Structure 1
Amino acid sequence: MIRMMVVDMLEEAGFVVAEAPHADAAWAILERCQANIRVLFTDIDMPGSMDGFVLAERVADAWPHIGLVVTSGGRRLADSEVPDSGHFLGKPYRPKDLLLAIREAV
């Protein structure tokens, strides 16, 4: 439910969004489309063989041109702990804070 609301909000803000239900699906999308993706927004707590933080680390290593925004309701990180100079956005977050983080990561 939250993912659908975030997708709607980002699309209304003018972003083209590719969504994935888990980190493995996100990785598959990235392998096909990384040249067209500018930012990865991921929750740390994602199902699949890797969590969102591992996904962010792998993306930073494979495609450093992709900006990173990581969120979590259960963990708190400093921006400096997010790979590749990414941004951390704690839950609950305000829509305007997410939009700002995405714009800064582009």
Structure 2
Amino acid sequence: MSNEPPADRSIILVVEDEPLLRMFASDMVEDAGYSVVEAANATEAVSILEKRTDIRIVFTDIDMPHGIDGIKLAACIRDRWPPIDIIIVSGKPFPVSAQLPDRAVFFPKPYQQVEIIAMMARMGAIPSDGSARGA
């Protein structure tokens, strides 16, 4: 018996170092009908990705202390887990020196929840209840 959910459910990994912002993002994703896994930093996110094969989308902040930032995390995900889509958010403009990996999108904070949920739906995420809310 597997510990992983059925294949028709999309799991979103939320990576945010600020506990309140992580809780807000996780609640947004859960309210849209998706399942959520949380990570407090990029190192924890990589560890989760190494252990799980059911993560469909990573939703990450850029600015994270103690390790790699969200841009480097996105590049790592693209190299090691190519099927995973990536949503990057930040309260600062996207760094001009950085390159957005393929199948990654950037949203400035404060972002509109409806836009994030619609992007998850466009990326092919399926809410755990099977609906297509926010699309």
Q: Same fold (TM over 0.5)?
A: yes
Tell me which stretches of 4 or more aligned residues in structure 1 moved more than 6 Å.
Answer: none
Distance across 2 between alignment mates of 1:101 and 1:46: 23
Distance in 2 (CA, whole Å) between partners of 1:14 and 1:77 is: 32
Matched pairs, number: 103
TM-score between both structures, scaled by the size of structure 2:
0.71
Q: Which runs of 5+ in 1 are unaligned?
A: none
Q: Percent identity?
A: 39
Give the helix-richer structure, 1 or 2: 1
* Uncovered stretches (5+) of structure 2, i.e. residues with no partner: 1-19, 125-135
Q: Which has the higher strand share?
A: 2
- In structure 2, the residue matched to 1:69 is 87
Report SS of the residue matched to 2:102: helix
Contact 1:37–1:66 (CA under 8 A) maintained in structure 2? yes
Are the aligned partners of 1:57 and 1:83 in contact in 2 as well (CA < 8 Å)?
A: yes
1:90 aligns to what?
Answer: 108
The structure whose RCO (Cα within 8 Å, separation 6+) is larger is 2
Instruction: Report the AA paired with residue 49 of structure 2.
Output: L
Match runs of 1:1-106 below 5 Å: 1-33=20-52, 35-76=53-94, 81-106=99-124
After TM superposition, give the deviation of residue 75 of structure 1 in Å.
Answer: 2.2
Root-mean-square deviation (CA, aligned residues, Å) is 1.6
State the TM-score, normalizing by the size of structure 1. 0.89
